[in-house]
Chains A and B, each alone.
Chain A
Amino acid sequence: GAGVSQTPSNKVTEKGKYVELRCDPISGHTALYWYRQSLGQGPEFLIYFQGTGAADDSGLPNDRFFAVRPEGSVSTLKIQRTERGDSAVYLCASSSRGAGELFFGEGSRLTVL
């Protein structure tokens, strides 16, 4: 597709469940980013990939959060044992090599009941 695609757009789950959020970046973009945005706040950095490897995962809040990008394209953000505090919009972005501009998807809204 032309832009960054994220699925699902909405996910409602129960506390303690496992969740996967998917991001399909713009074709050819080598860098992929995950951000989390709580209501009324700016996006907070979680992790970014350069190719298949996680170049910086310093924003992941704890070991319940994990992300992969096995073939250097699609990425999955995985959240184990979800907690109500995980409720937020999870944004994915991609960028081409050396460029400063990030292209964002529409986000996946996660609600943990």
Chain B
Amino acid sequence: KAGVTQTPRYLIKTRGQQVTLSCSPISGHRSVSWYQQTPGQGLQFLFEYFSETQRNKGNFPGRFSGRQFSNSRSEMNVSTLELGDSALYLCASSRGTMNTEAFFGQGTRLTVV
């Protein structure tokens, strides 16, 4: 059974640019969540999608956005990149119903220079 796939694994961008990260969940999972991990702030919730609908969004500026497609694959976009956006971005996949375990992808390491 294939796990959660995130692409790309590593990314270097310049301040002011935008970036799109992709996440393919485990087959049959309809929920995709995104988290940002930094040494200073730890793991912070970005947003969660279920069946193409955003059910919740964390406390991040509007530069952070996401979407989910009908095949449950998800993308997140960060516009006008800032140095502080450098982080490991993790995608988690689950069935999306109560008491379900979340499985994480390998993450995308974004470095903004």
Chains A and B are bound partners: no
Residues of B near any A CB (own CB < 8 A): none
